[in-house]
Amino acid sequence: MRVWKFGDDIDTDAIIPGRFLTIYDPKELSRHAFEGTRNDFANEAKTGDIIVAGRNFGCGSSREHAPLALKGAGIGFVVAKSFARIFYRNAINTGVLPIVCPETDVIRDGDSISVNLKEGVITAGDKKLLIEPVPEFMQKIVDSGGLVNYAKEMEEVSVCTK
C-alpha cells in the first residue's frame, strides 16, 4: 500500500482547514484533505493507502472532521511515532486506526508497506518494524467497529458514582 509520508506536528488545520467544517460527509471532506499543504493527496490517495508521520500527529483541534476526511480518502491506518490525544481517540472512534511505531523514519514517501496487526509488525521492504499494541479498552471499541457500533445496542453504561 502506498505511503503518504509526513513530518512531525501535523495539525488538524493542515488535515482539514477550518473553512470546510460545515461539511460532514467523509467523501466530500476528503476532497479538501491537506488542501494548501499537500495538494496531491486529495487527487491521488487511493483506498488502502497509509499515512506515515513523525511525532504528535493530529495536534490541535478536536474536529472529528480530520479523521473523517482521511477515512473518506480511503485511509485505514495512520502510523506515527506519537499522536495527539484527541485525534487518537477520534481516529479510533471513526474507524481510522492510529498505530504507534517509533521507527517511522525508515519509511519514505511512496514506499509500499503492509501492516499486520496480529503480529504487531509493519513490513517495509526487507525491514520489520514493531508497533505498539492498542490499549485494551480502546481495542474493545475497535473490535466492535467503532464507538457508534459499540454504543448502539447499549441502553446504559455502568458508571462509578458516589
Q: DSSP class of residue 38?
A: -
Question: Which spans of this chain sit near other proteins (rule: CB under 8 A)?
Answer: 9, 11, 13-14, 17-19, 21-24, 36-37, 55-56, 59-65, 82, 84-86, 89-90, 93-94, 135, 137, 146-148, 151-154, 156-162
Residue 83: which residues within 8 A CB-CB, separation 6 or more?
A: 56, 57, 58, 91, 98, 100
Residue 66 contacts residue 19 (beta carbons within 8 Å): no
Q: Which is nearer to other proteins, 89 or 124 (CB)?
A: 89
Q: Which is nearer to other proteins, 94 or 104 (CB)?
A: 94
Among 129, 81, 118, 114, residue whose Cα is nearest residue 3: 114
Q: Which is nearer to other proteins, 123 or 146 (CB)?
A: 146
**In the complex, minimum distance from the CB of residue 151 to other proteins, in angstroms, rounded to a whole number:** 5
**In the complex, minimum distance from the CB of residue 102 to other proteins, in angstroms, rounded to a whole number:** 14
Among 88, 85, 83, residue whose Cα is nearest residue 101: 83
Q: Which is nearer to other proteins, 62 or 112 (CB)?
A: 62
